[in-house]
Amino acid sequence: MTIQQISSFAAGDWVAPGEGSREIASAVTGEVIAAAGNNALDVQGMLDHARNVGGPALRKMTFHERAKMLKTLSLHLGKHKQALYDLSFNTGATQSDHMIDIDGGIGTMFVFASKGRREMPDGHVYLDGEVEQLSRNGTFLGQHICTPLQGVAIHINAFNFPVWGMLEKLAPTLLAGVPAIVKPATNSCYVTELCVRIMLESGILPAGALQLVSGGLGDMLDRLTMQDVVSFTGSADTALRLRSNPAILENSVRFVAEQDSLNASILGPDAEPGTPEFDLFIKEVQREMTTKAGQKCTAIRRIIAPEPQVQAVIEALSARLAKTVIGDPRLETTRMGALVSNAQKRDVLEKAAIIGQEAERVFGNPSDFTVDGADADKGAFLPPMLFHCANPDAAQRVHDTEAFGPVSTIMGYSDIDHAIKLANKGQGSLVASVITHDPNVARQVVLGAGAYHGRLYFNDRASMKESTGHGSPLPHLVHGGPGRAGGGEEMGGVRGVKHYMQRTAIQGSPDILSAIGNKWVPGATEIEGPSHPFTRRYHDLSIGETIHTGSRTVTMEDIEHFAHFTGDTFYAHMDQAAAERNPFFPGRVAHGYLLLSFAAGLFVEPNEGPVLANTGLDGLRFMKPVEAGDAIKVRLTVKNKTKRNEDYGEVRWHVTLTNQHDEQVAEYELLTMVAY
């Protein structure tokens, strides 16, 4: 068998393994299939290339351009999935494991692409939150902004998800405008290398945006500066070692850590045998124990069930686990493949022995189990193993020993406070799940356990058909957790992108803030356009372009007509005495919606033109009541513009309604689609 040489990609060149390379064995056969690593890798050259070539090229692009790049990249990867599947079987992963790693990774990149387009500007500065009013007259304001770090992101990944692990970090990094050097775990780096090759050969990425280290990093971490970020996924021991690096400490280099954690799943007190929740619980636990042969950072390590149900859970779970076909991951009938290596298998057995000091093994015998289509002695196969801990309060090792394989421990609880206490004994986890149909139980768990877990997953008969699974981190939601889980956070939509940007508080006048954010701020200069803005196309409108309308007097007939026409005869509009008793109104007042309609009547240009549709209002506030006899007028300003597709873009208008005393009566943002 030829041994595949797994290269690194450094400063634009592929570098084959050299001195110091390590052999990599197939998880299924134990045979050496690849080699990776090269002590002579020019790590300083890689850092320079990222900082001087990749970073500037990415920062030149807008958030939308980078989001589009991610979309093209994920579509391209989607066309090459089969090659990744074929290779990844060697890691012990089954086809359904590939769906999580390979399809899940591509899907994650896709979500970031779409969030980048919808939630970030088509510009270079991300506005974080709203304008802060810092002065009485509004001439001095504050605004938080984010801009990309000017260094490089070093991504160090665990072996279990060679594709997802890379893409879930790479997508937010590139979207932020920061180049990455990816270092996968050596055991499964051949899959990551293929994925990187596919991305690089597509030509979609600018030079220097992505480099790869297959094998060790050398002294790269010693060379990091305050503009760099390390995003690490792996064990707590390695994280501690790496985050203690003197250069990282001295330069306050951001270090995002995703570590192992002793995730728990709680069976609610209401979820007795015979309920849909009990069956759901058994299904979820079995799935989490066997997916990726239990090598998942989010896998359920501790099963927490009401004491009277413990035996029933052991029986139902054992019956389900007994049906798990273990074997060559390429076989369609296989439900659980191999662990990544024989070293990993030995490690799991050692950790299981430690757990065995405090708990009794009630299912799964590592010396007696069947493996389909592969040699159990050569490949890294193990059966699922279930332990029962009879005294979880006195126990410690079951709460702090992560056997990174198909191993889980069940323990009983007396009441929900006790269940919370046991879940929190893990000292911080990525996710805890609660299978309950009782909202009070869910609330109690949130109050008692929220601070200890990065994600709380509730599931019951109402959500089970569409739920995404205890163990699946989603790009929309934060992945990470406190304490033992590393104290880091990844993904969570735009939150994840911000890990690669600097947040800066900007202070200045409305004109300064408008120019920085490319978004008009009240108080900034108003621009007079050559004609009504509704007659001009998207690209012809300038930020700050403003019209002031004439005024319209609101009459009592208008109010009554509107009330009867719409059916909104609320007393504040119809009954003088009742309105006067209301603390908000001087007497009968105009409907807020009447004012909005009159405002539209004042500012629209009625003829067919480039404004295609009104798609909504944001931030509507009614600030002062309008009575019959008051006269309202409108100021309409182009606030900002966002391209939507090939034909049109969104124009957001700042709208202010004032009365005859120039007092503001209403304010909102109007959204329209305008043709290019």
Question: CB 296 → ligand NAP: shortest distance, Å?
Answer: 7
**What's the closest the beta carbon of residue 464 comes to ligand NAP, in angstroms?**
25
By beta-carbon proximity to ligand NAP, the closer residue of 184 and 412 is 184
Between residues 392 and 471, which has the closer beta carbon with respect to ligand NAP? 471
> Rounded to the nearest whole angstrom, what is the least distance from the CB of residue 225 to ligand NAP in the complex?
17
Nearest-CB residue for ligand NAP:
234
Of the residues 93, 113, 158, 638, which one makes contact with ligand NAP according to CB under 6 A = 158
Pick from 94, 108, 173, 186 the residue near ligand NAP by CB under 6 A: 186
Q: Of 47, 156, 304, 435, which lies in the binding site for ligand NAP, with binding defined by CB under 6 A?
A: 156
The alpha carbon dihedral of 212, 217, 221, 222 has a sign of negative
The reply to whether 101 sits near ligand NAP by the rule CB under 6 A is no
HEC profile of 288-343: HHHHHHHCCCCCCCEEEEEHHHHHHHHHHHHHHHHCCCEECCCCCCCCECCCCCHH
Nearer to ligand NAP, 6 or 651 (CB): 6
402 binds ligand NAP (CB under 6 A): yes
Region near ligand NAP per CB under 6 A, out of 59-67, 113-121, 155-163, 637-645? 155-163
Window of 95-103, 180-188, 200-208, 644-652 that interacts with ligand NAP by CB under 6 A = 180-188
Cβ atoms 639, 652 nearer than 8 A = yes
Choices 83-91, 227-235, 318-326, 580-588; region in contact with ligand NAP by CB under 6 A = 227-235
58-80: b (≥16 Cβ within 10 Å) or e: bbebbbbebbbbbbebbebbeeb
| Beta-carbon contacts of residue 200 (< 8 Å; ≥ 6 apart) | 9, 210
Instruction: Decide whether 181 or 541 has the Cβ nearer to ligand NAP.
Output: 181
For the window 551-570, what string marks contact with ligand NAP as x by the rule CB under 6 A? --------------------
Residue holding tokens 């702090």? 400
Tell me if residue 258 is catalytic: yes
Q: Least CB distance from residue 313 to ligand NAP, whole Å?
A: 24
Q: Which of residues 26-45 bind ligand NAP (CB under 6 A)?
A: none
Beta bridge partners of 672: 614, 651
Binding letters toward ligand NAP, positions 508-547, x by CB under 6 A: ----------------------------------------
Q: Quick one: 407 or 611, whose CB is closer to ligand NAP? A: 407
**CB 473 to ligand NAP: min, Å:** 7
Nearer to ligand NAP, 26 or 546 (CB): 26
Query: Which member of 9, 63, 159, 381 binds ligand NAP (CB under 6 A)?
Result: 159
Member of 50, 305, 430, 445 binding ligand NAP (CB under 6 A): 430
Q: Please, which residue, 51 or 484, has the CB nearer to ligand NAP?
A: 484
- The residue annotated as part of the active site, out of 146, 195, 297, 389, is 297
State the nearest-atom distance from the C-beta of 305 to ligand NAP, in Å.
23
Q: Tokens representing 671?
A: 């959204």
Q: Is 193 in the site for ligand NAP (CB under 6 A)?
A: no
158 close to 234: Cβ distance less than 8 angstroms = yes
The site map against ligand NAP for 235-274 (x = CB under 6 A) is: x--x---x---------------xxx--------------
Name the one range near ligand NAP by CB under 6 A: 119-127, 184-192, 420-428, 618-626: 184-192
Would you call 666 helix, strand, or coil by DSSP?
A: strand
Using rule CB under 6 A, residue 94 touches ligand NAP: no
Q: Which is nearer to ligand NAP, 437 or 484 (CB)?
A: 484
> Cβ neighbours of residue 444 under 8 Å, at least 6 residues apart?
416, 417, 420
Residue 515 DSSP SS3: helix
Reading the block at residue 394, the tokens are: 């006195």
Helix (H) or strand (E) holding 634, with range, is strand 631-643
- Any contact of residue 301 with ligand NAP (CB under 6 A)? no
What b/e string do you get for 520-558 counting C-beta neighbours within 10 Å, with b at 16 or more? bbbbbeeeebeeebbebebeebebbbbbbbeebebeeeb
Q: Which of 258, 277, 490, 545 is catalytic?
A: 258
Q: How many residues does the chain have?
A: 676
297 counts as binding ligand NAP under rule CB under 6 A: yes
The three-class DSSP label of residue 437 is: coil
Interface residue with ligand NAP among 183, 453, 652, 654 (CB under 6 A) is: 183
Q: What is the smallest separation between the CB atom of 189 and ligand NAP, expressed in angstroms?
A: 7
User: Does 401 contact ligand NAP by CB under 6 A?
Assistant: no
The β-bridge partners of 457 are: 433
Q: Contact region for ligand NAP (CB under 6 A) — 106-114, 231-239, 570-578, 658-666?
A: 231-239
Asked if 157 touches ligand NAP (CB under 6 A), the answer is: yes
Distance, in Å, from the CA atom of 331 to the CA atom of 89, rounded to the nearest integer, reads 10
Q: CB nearer to ligand NAP: give 156 or 419.
A: 156
Counting other chains too, the contacts that 317-322 makes at CB distance below 8 Å and 24 or more residues apart are 317/282, 317/285, 317/286, 317/363, 317/386, 317/410, 318/362, 318/363, 318/386, 320/282, 320/283, 320/286, 321/286, 321/289, 321/290, 321/363, 321/364, 321/384, 321/386, 322/363
Rounded to whole angstroms, how far apart are CA atoms 43 and 215?
A: 12
Site for ligand NAP contains 234 (CB under 6 A): yes
402, 295 in Cβ contact below 8 A? no
Residues 14, 200: Cα–Cα separation, whole Å:
11
Which of 190, 404, 452, 603 binds ligand NAP (CB under 6 A)? It is 404
The rounded distance, in Å, linking the Cα atoms of 369 and 376 is 9
Q: Least distance from C-beta 483 to ligand NAP, angstroms?
A: 12
Catalytic, 297? Answer: yes
Residue 458 DSSP code? E
What number of other Cβ atoms are within 10 A of residue 636's Cβ?
22
CB of 400 to ligand NAP, least distance (A): 12
The site that binds ligand NAP (CB under 6 A) totals a number of residues, namely: 23
b or e along 426-454 (b: 16 or more beta carbons within 10 Å of the residue's beta carbon)?
Answer: bebbbbbbbbbbbeebbebbeebbeebbb
Local structure of 178: helix, strand or coil: coil
Binding to ligand NAP (CB under 6 A) within 335-354 occurs at none
Q: 353-386: b or e for each residue (b if 16 or more CB lie within 10 Å)?
A: eebbebbebbbbebeeeebeebebebbbbbbbbb
The phi and psi torsions of 504 (rounded to 5 degrees) equal -125, 135
Q: Across 392-454, where does the E strand assignment appear?
A: 407-413, 432-435
- Pinpoint the alpha helices (H) of 227-304: 236-243, 246-250, 276-290
Choice between 6 and 149, CB closer to ligand NAP: 6
Q: Which stretch binds ligand NAP (CB under 6 A): 185-193, 272-280, 414-422, 594-602?
A: 185-193
Residues contributing to the site for ligand NAP (CB under 6 A): 156-160, 183, 185-187, 216-217, 233-235, 238, 242, 258-260, 297, 402, 404, 430
Residues with a catalytic annotation lie at: 258, 297
